[in-house]
Amino acid sequence: MPQIIFLPHPELCPDGAAIEAPSGQTVLDVALKNGISIAHACEKSCACTTCHLVIREGFDSLEESDELEDDMLDKAWGLEPESRLGCQAIIRDEDLVVEIPKYNVNIVNEEH
Protein backbone atom coordinates (compact mmCIF):
# COMPACT_ATOMS: atom_id res chain seq x y z
CA MET A 1 0.00 0.00 0.00
CA PRO A 2 1.44 3.39 -0.94
CA GLN A 3 2.28 5.96 1.67
CA ILE A 4 1.64 9.70 1.63
CA ILE A 5 4.12 11.86 3.48
CA PHE A 6 2.59 15.22 4.32
CA LEU A 7 5.28 17.81 4.91
CA PRO A 8 4.87 19.95 8.04
CA HIS A 9 2.30 22.75 7.78
CA PRO A 10 2.18 25.23 10.68
CA GLU A 11 -1.58 24.93 11.25
CA LEU A 12 -2.90 21.77 9.63
CA CYS A 13 -0.08 19.31 10.28
CA PRO A 14 2.70 20.90 12.38
CA ASP A 15 4.82 17.75 12.67
CA GLY A 16 4.08 16.36 9.23
CA ALA A 17 2.61 12.89 8.83
CA ALA A 18 3.22 9.58 7.07
CA ILE A 19 -0.03 7.81 6.21
CA GLU A 20 -0.84 4.52 4.49
CA ALA A 21 -3.01 5.36 1.49
CA PRO A 22 -5.18 2.88 -0.39
CA SER A 23 -4.90 3.07 -4.16
CA GLY A 24 -7.96 4.57 -5.82
CA GLN A 25 -8.65 7.16 -3.11
CA THR A 26 -7.95 10.86 -3.43
CA VAL A 27 -5.17 12.57 -1.52
CA LEU A 28 -7.80 14.83 0.09
CA ASP A 29 -9.91 11.91 1.35
CA VAL A 30 -6.86 10.23 2.89
CA ALA A 31 -5.84 13.49 4.59
CA LEU A 32 -9.33 14.13 5.98
CA LYS A 33 -9.69 10.55 7.28
CA ASN A 34 -6.42 11.04 9.15
CA GLY A 35 -7.18 14.33 10.84
CA ILE A 36 -5.50 16.70 8.37
CA SER A 37 -8.26 19.25 7.80
CA ILE A 38 -7.45 20.54 4.33
CA ALA A 39 -10.10 23.02 3.19
CA HIS A 40 -12.54 21.85 0.54
CA ALA A 41 -15.12 24.61 0.14
CA CYS A 42 -16.81 23.04 -2.90
CA GLU A 43 -17.24 19.69 -1.09
CA LYS A 44 -14.80 17.93 -3.45
CA SER A 45 -16.59 18.81 -6.69
CA CYS A 46 -13.62 20.42 -8.48
CA ALA A 47 -15.23 23.86 -8.32
CA CYS A 48 -12.65 25.75 -6.22
CA THR A 49 -8.98 25.67 -5.31
CA THR A 50 -9.09 25.38 -1.53
CA CYS A 51 -7.63 21.85 -1.59
CA HIS A 52 -4.66 22.90 -3.75
CA LEU A 53 -1.60 20.75 -2.97
CA VAL A 54 1.91 20.50 -4.35
CA ILE A 55 3.11 16.96 -5.01
CA ARG A 56 6.84 17.11 -4.23
CA GLU A 57 7.49 13.44 -5.03
CA GLY A 58 5.41 10.91 -6.96
CA PHE A 59 3.56 13.44 -9.15
CA ASP A 60 3.80 11.28 -12.27
CA SER A 61 2.27 8.29 -10.48
CA LEU A 62 -1.08 10.07 -9.99
CA GLU A 63 -3.88 9.73 -12.50
CA GLU A 64 -3.67 12.61 -14.98
CA SER A 65 -5.59 15.80 -14.36
CA ASP A 66 -8.47 16.65 -16.66
CA GLU A 67 -9.29 19.96 -18.32
CA LEU A 68 -11.65 21.08 -15.54
CA GLU A 69 -9.01 20.55 -12.86
CA ASP A 70 -6.38 22.32 -14.97
CA ASP A 71 -8.74 25.29 -15.41
CA MET A 72 -9.35 25.47 -11.65
CA LEU A 73 -5.64 25.19 -10.88
CA ASP A 74 -5.00 28.25 -13.05
CA LYS A 75 -6.79 30.20 -10.29
CA ALA A 76 -4.78 28.74 -7.40
CA TRP A 77 -2.45 30.88 -5.34
CA GLY A 78 1.16 29.73 -5.65
CA LEU A 79 0.58 27.43 -8.63
CA GLU A 80 3.54 25.17 -9.43
CA PRO A 81 4.09 22.59 -12.18
CA GLU A 82 3.45 19.82 -9.61
CA SER A 83 0.22 21.38 -8.28
CA ARG A 84 -2.94 19.29 -8.02
CA LEU A 85 -6.32 19.61 -6.39
CA GLY A 86 -6.42 17.15 -3.53
CA CYS A 87 -10.01 16.21 -4.37
CA GLN A 88 -8.97 15.13 -7.87
CA ALA A 89 -5.53 13.58 -7.23
CA ILE A 90 -6.21 9.84 -7.26
CA ILE A 91 -3.54 7.69 -5.67
CA ARG A 92 -2.13 4.80 -7.66
CA ASP A 93 0.70 2.59 -6.42
CA GLU A 94 3.63 4.88 -5.55
CA ASP A 95 4.48 6.83 -2.43
CA LEU A 96 3.83 10.57 -2.47
CA VAL A 97 5.38 13.54 -0.72
CA VAL A 98 2.81 16.32 -0.41
CA GLU A 99 3.12 19.95 0.59
CA ILE A 100 0.05 21.85 1.75
CA PRO A 101 0.49 25.46 0.61
CA LYS A 102 0.53 28.10 3.31
CA TYR A 103 -2.28 30.02 1.61
CA ASN A 104 -5.24 29.17 -0.59
CA VAL A 105 -7.91 31.12 -2.40
CA ASN A 106 -11.24 30.56 -0.68
CA ILE A 107 -13.80 32.59 -2.57
CA VAL A 108 -16.56 31.42 -0.24
CA ASN A 109 -14.80 32.94 2.81
CA GLU A 110 -13.62 36.04 0.97
CA GLU A 111 -17.14 37.08 -0.08
CA HIS A 112 -18.29 37.51 3.53
**Digit-coded pLDDT (tens) for 13-61:** 999 999 999 999 999 999 999 999 999 999 999 999 999 999 999 999 9
What does the domain layout of the chain look like in residue ranges?
3-110
pTM: 0.91
| Contact criterion met (CB below 8 Å) for 107 and 48 | yes
Confidence of residue 108 (pLDDT cuts 50, 70, 90): very low
pLDDT tens column, 58-80: 999 998 999 999 999 999 989 99
47: Cα separation from own chain's centroid: 14
- Rounded Cα–Cα distance for residues 107 and 3 (Å): 31
**What is the architecture of the domain spanning 3-110?**
Roll (3.10)
